[in-house]
Structure 1
Amino acid sequence: MFVPKIVFFDIDDTLYLKRQRLIPDSARDAIRRLQEKGIRVAIASGRSPSVLPEAAKQLIDEYGIDPVLLINGQYIRYQGEVLKAFPMQRQVLAGVSAALEQAGINHAFVSANDVAVAWEEAHFAAAAAELGLPYIVDKRHYDTQEVYQMLAFYPPEYDKAVAAMLPAHLKTVRWHQYGVDILDAAGSKARGIAAVLQALGVQMEEAMAFGDGANDVEMLQAVGFGVAMGNAAPELKRLAKYVCPRADEDGIFRGLRDLGMI
């Protein structure tokens, strides 16, 4: 039986049910049981600090969950401090923003304090509504804030065209029918986890992770034991070492129980 020293959980549709906007009691119970066994619990989310769901904030505070990896590993909090951060260069942000605006593609900038959208339109509204995304409108947000990743809002048929606009050192990761992350090609939850484990003195093979989306691919590949949710993207299920039940079917609790960890 694999017994990790630390377990990383994605938030949306892993721990947190987006549609119901809650964390199941069974997931909370699972976290408590892990901690009682001396297994550290951590968060690894694509969300930024400013857009964490209230239920997730309460969970982190109530259970003392630490560390917390946010913005796909680009912004890491540990013991009340920023352990590591990977901001994008301002000239890169300005160039990508100009190219997207010229193509008529709306976009946003993700800082520690805000999600700042260039303008308001239907594709952004659809993606923001599903996440319950608070935001401001500021097309030059990078002038005053460190920006860790961008978002862009367009349907999948524009994927190739947008990829061709971007510098080679950037990548896109789709998280919604109309929403993608734009970040450094080396950036991922796995890079953030590596920084955390170095600080903790834990080996990558001693870590476990649960996820459901395209932004969890590197994370599940990197850790010693990657678990995909039953509601996960097919690509994630293929590379996971275990597929647990769906998030809305007590997947976290049932998966950990079936693995003999709780």
Structure 2
Amino acid sequence: MLEQSSLAPALDLPTAEEARDLRLVALDMDGTLVRSDKTVNDEFWPVAEELIGRGIVLVAASGRQRGAIMETMAPVGDRITVLSENGAVAWQGEEVLRAETVDRETTVRVATAVRALAAQGRDTGLVAGAPSRAYVERSDATFLAHVRHFYPVVEVVDDLTDLPEDVVKLATWDAEPIVEAVVPALQALELDAAIVRSHEYWADVMRAGASKGAALTRLRESLGIPREASAAFGDHFNDLAMLQSVGMPFAVANAEPEIRSAARFVAPSNDEDGVMHVLRALLAA
């Protein structure tokens, strides 16, 4: 039985019957499980071990590259499923189960738009994410520092429209809030693709239909896990489809207002270790 060594705040929870039927848990990383100081509470790992030990499928679902997810989830990384690049790539161990690629025309149009914004003086940049590495055209230390938090393996190239492998996500970064100029510029392209805000300073372009929610639905259906027996935790717009795909959706208290409104439950914030406290309570039901 897990010991509650941290004082648990008041919790918004499903019924005990629902909690006892839990068979899958999906976790967003940044802003949800991961605290503002980029750490995970050490007390979370016994909770994760308990979930896995009971046969509950634990899924890390993030906009990050798989390598960055595995750095955070290292204590249990060999026993979880990973949905990287906002669900564009599904992994079991080092095996790619499915990859949703972006067509070259979309890559060319997005790269052209981002280059135009940079030429106008905006401090902005583009990351072309492949399943196991990322490519960038900017090589300055400031930009690369932002990129490497999400993409540990980064290669600087001359032209993002001429790469040696398929792209699964185009991630745009801007030094100012992404809604000011980048999102309107991407929307003006009228792409046959999904555009989603994943952070205050990041927006992602993905294949139409690709999302954390679509990937999670395919996973749980392949495992025969009912929607009602699944829980997910998130904080930002790229988590919305994932929360809508489960029966027990939790937004952390620091989530965007629209995400809190869409969730069935609100967990304490990431800095209050809300995911850990809620999961501990669900396991105790």
Is the TM-score greater than 0.5?
A: yes
3-state DSSP of counterpart to 2:25: strand
- The aligned runs of 1:41-60 (5 Å cut-off) are 41-52=58-69, 54-60=71-77
Distance 1:114 1:94 in 2: 19
**Corresponding position: 1:151 with 2:165:** no
- The aligned runs of 1:187-206 (5 Å cut-off) are 187-206=210-229
Q: Which amino acid aligns with 1:8?
A: A
Equivalent residue number for residue 104 of structure 2 = 90
Residue-by-residue CA offset, 1:18-47 (whole Å, 9 max, x unaligned):
52x322122212212222333221111111
Give the CA deviation at 1:126. Answer: 6.8
3-state DSSP of counterpart to 1:172: strand
Q: Which amino acid aligns with 2:47?
A: A
Give the CA deviation at 1:215. Answer: 0.8
Uncovered stretches (5+) of structure 2, i.e. residues with no partner: 1-15, 119-123
Equivalent residue number for residue 169 of structure 1 = 192
Residue-by-residue CA offset, 1:80-120 (whole Å, 9 max, x unaligned):
42211101112321232123223325211011222212224
3-state DSSP of counterpart to 1:96: helix
Give the CA deviation at 1:188. Answer: 0.8
Cα distance change, pair 41–160 in 1 and its aligned pair in 2 (3 A): closer
Q: Which amino acid aligns with 2:74?
A: K
TM-align CA RMSD: 2.6
Cα distance change, pair 126–77 in 1 and its aligned pair in 2 (3 A): closer
Give the CA deviation at 1:79. Answer: 5.4
Distance 1:45 1:189 in 2: 8
Cα distance change, pair 256–56 in 1 and its aligned pair in 2 (3 A): closer
Distance 2:183 2:235 in 1: 24
Give percent identity, aligned residues only: 28
- TM-score norm. by structure 1 comes to 0.86
Give the CA deviation at 1:58. Answer: 3.8
Give the CA deviation at 1:204. Answer: 2.5
Cα distance change, pair 179–18 in 1 and its aligned pair in 2 (3 A): same
- TM-score norm. by structure 2 comes to 0.80
Uncovered stretches (5+) of structure 1, i.e. residues with no partner: none
Distance 1:261 1:141 in 2: 51
Residue-by-residue CA offset, 1:183-238 (whole Å, 9 max, x unaligned):
13422101101221232122323211111222111111111110111222221111
Q: Which amino acid aligns with 2:200?
A: Q
**Corresponding position: 1:17 with 2:35:** yes
Distance 2:187 2:108 in 1: 17
Cα distance change, pair 88–36 in 1 and its aligned pair in 2 (3 A): same
Cα distance change, pair 165–121 in 1 and its aligned pair in 2 (3 A): farther
Q: Which amino acid aligns with 2:170?
A: M
Moved more, 144-153 or 248-257: 248-257
Contact 1:75/1:85 (CA < 8 Å) preserved in 2? yes
Cα distance change, pair 132–193 in 1 and its aligned pair in 2 (3 A): closer
Tell which structure's C-alpha radius of gyration is larger: 2
Cα distance change, pair 76–53 in 1 and its aligned pair in 2 (3 A): closer
Contact 1:127/1:178 (CA < 8 Å) preserved in 2? no
Contact 2:198/2:236 (CA < 8 Å) preserved in 1? yes
